[in-house]
Amino acid sequence: MDDTKQEWQYHGNKPIKGRKLLLIQQSELVIALPLIFRLIPKEQISRRSAWFESSGESELQFLKISELLSLVARKRKQSVDLSVELEQLNFCLNEMFSDYGWRMVRKELAQIKKRKKKSHIELSNDLVHRLKAFMSLKQLDSFDQAVDHLLSDCEKIRSDNGEVE
């Protein structure tokens, strides 16, 4: 998967400090497409007017972006090269969103990525102590490794017994 980073083309003055804003990358499509679909309807544009460039052709932009979003989503599911379509989509998004708006979109994407990466599971102290003892016994460094080890053992036992999940 080609994950070429397209940089945001600033509408106003380019900031001197901070990270460069990036447009959507192929690896982000799964989470970015639903977010963009959610942000481009007219009621969202009027609600968050600072996020968008004011333009008389917003209806035409909306239709073009919707079409490109659908095309990119379809091609992504088919595992077809979509670099040209993604570049076109990014160009349209760059025209539609303001610098501030795209910064907010990137913030939301970062939050979504963060939430998808982490889970919070509550365990009793007794289980935590037992897991730590297991980690020490097996010389494991993290709870992730310990749980993975235990689940792998469980799967192996099931497959040895001929059980189907």
* pTM of the predicted structure, to 2 decimals: 0.69
Mean pLDDT of the chain: 87
Predicted local distance difference test score (pLDDT) of residue 3: 65
Predicted confidence (pLDDT) per residue in 95-117, tens digit? 999 999 999 999 999 999 988 88
Q: What angle do CA 27, 31, 33 make, to 5 degrees?
A: 95
Predicted local distance difference test score (pLDDT) of residue 165: 56
Higher-pLDDT residue of 165, 120 = 120
Predicted local distance difference test score (pLDDT) of residue 109: 95
pLDDT greater than 60 at residue 70: yes
Mean pLDDT to the nearest integer, 24-44: 89
Predicted local distance difference test score (pLDDT) of residue 2: 57
- Alpha-carbon distance of 155 to 164, in angstroms, equals 10
Mean pLDDT to the nearest integer, 77-90: 89
Predicted confidence (pLDDT) per residue in 42-62, tens digit? 788 888 888 988 655 667 888
pLDDT greater than 90 at residue 15: no
